[in-house]
C-alpha cells in the first residue's frame, strides 16, 4: 500500500493525475451477483448449484466471444448482441421456451447492483477530478446500467464507439482522447489486472481496487496503487 504523506498537496497532484477513468463491470457494479439474480428469476425452481452452472454458461460465452472479436475471428458485435446470445444459451440449457423470459434475461446486464461504496465514492471524487467511466457495455446498455445502479459521471464511454473490447488499445485511447491529457496524467481504476495491464501498455497510471470478484494482480504486476475499496482510493487521491 502506498504511504500517504501529508505534504499540503494531495497525492494525485504529486503524481500529476488530472483525470480518473473507472472500469464499470466488476469494479463499480457487482456483475456476477446481478446476473445470478436475473438467472434465478428466470429459473426460479433451480437450486444454487444449477444457478451457478448457468451463470458460468453466460460468463464463458461472453468471455469467449469478446476474445474471438479481439483475435479477429469474429466481426465486432456489441454487448447487447453477445448478452442476447448468452441468454439464449442459458435458457436452452435450462430447457425454457418462453420468449418473454428470454427477452428479459437478455437485458440482465443492464440491471446490475452497485457495490456499497460506488455511488458515494464517485460523489466524493467528482468535485476534484474529471471522472470517466470506460466500459465494454454498449452505449445503450451502459446508459441503462448507470441509471439502474445510480452511477454519476462527467462522461461515460462505451468501447462500442471504437468497435472493440478492452483490453484493445483503441479503447483506452478513447478515454485518453476524451480526457485530453497525456497518458501519464490519467489514472485507470479497475478490479481486473488484465484491464490495468491494457491501460498500462498505453502509458496510463493504474490503481487496482480489490473486489470479491475480479482478476487480482500477480507478483509480476507493478501497478501504481492497490486499494481495498473505493473509499480508500478517494481518500488517498484527495488527501492533503
Structural domain contains residue 39: yes
Same domain, 134 and 45: no
Provide the domain count of the chain. 2
203-225: per-residue pLDDT in tens? 999 999 999 998 999 999 999 99
Q: Which among 181, 204, 237, 203 has a CA at the least distance from the CA of 23?
A: 204
Structural domain contains residue 4: no
Query: Percent of the chain having pLDDT more than 70?
Result: 93
The pLDDT, as a whole number, for residue 144 is 98
Same domain, 132 and 85: no
CB 42 within 8 A of CB 116: no
CB 172 within 8 A of CB 198: yes
Residue 223, φ and ψ in degrees, nearest 5: -85, 155
Structural domain contains residue 6: no
Across all residues in the chain, what is the average pLDDT?
93
Same domain, 203 and 128: yes
Q: Which distant-in-sequence residues (6+ apart) come within 8 Å of 177 by Cβ?
A: none
140-186: per-residue pLDDT in tens? 999 999 999 999 999 999 999 999 999 999 999 999 999 999 999 99
**Domain that residue 61 falls in:** 31-110
CB 197 within 8 A of CB 219: no
Same domain, 69 and 178: no
Q: What is the pTM of this model?
A: 0.92
- Residue ending a domain, among 110, 135, 159, is 110
Amino acid at each position: 500500500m502506498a504511504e500517504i504523506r501529508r505534504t499540503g498537496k494531495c497525492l494525485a497532484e504529486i503524481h500529476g493525475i488530472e483525470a480518473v477513468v473507472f472500469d464499470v463491470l466488476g469494479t463499480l457494479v457487482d456483475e456476477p451477483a446481478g446476473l445470478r439474480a436475473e438467472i434465478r428469476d428466470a429459473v426460479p425452481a433451480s437450486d444454487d448449484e444449477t444457478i451457478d452452472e448457468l451463470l458460468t454458461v453466460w460468463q464463458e460465452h461472453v468471455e469467449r466471444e469478446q476474445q474471438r472479436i479481439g483475435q479477429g475471428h469474429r466481426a465486432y458485435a456489441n454487448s447487447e448482441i453477445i448478452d442476447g446470445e448468452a441468454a439464449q444459451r442459458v435458457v436452452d440449457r435450462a430447457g425454457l421456451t418462453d420468449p418473454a423470459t428470454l427477452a428479459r434475461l437478455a437485458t440482465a446486464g443492464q440491471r446490475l447492483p452497485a457495490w456499497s461504496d460506488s455511488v458515494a465514492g464517485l460523489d466524493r471524487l467528482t468535485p476534484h477530478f474529471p471522472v470517466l467511466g470506460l466500459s465494454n457495455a454498449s452505449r445503450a446498455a451502459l446508459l441503462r446500467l448507470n441509471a439502474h445502479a445510480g452511477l454519476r459521471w462527467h462522461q461515460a464511454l462505451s468501447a462500442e464507439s471504437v468497435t472493440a473490447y478492452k483490453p484493445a488499445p483503441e479503447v483506452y485511447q478513447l478515454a485518453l482522447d476524451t480526457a485530453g491529457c497525456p497518458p501519464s496524467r490519467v489514472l485507470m481504476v479497475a478490479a481486473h489486472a488484465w484491464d490495468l495491464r491494457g491501460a498500462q501498455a498505453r502509458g496510463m497510471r493504474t490503481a487496482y481496487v480489490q473486489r470479491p470478484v475480479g482478476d487480482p494482480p500477480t507478483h509480476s504486476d507493478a501497478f501504481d496503487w492497490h486499494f481495498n475499496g473505493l473509499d480508500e482510493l478517494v481518500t488517498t487521491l484527495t488527501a492533503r
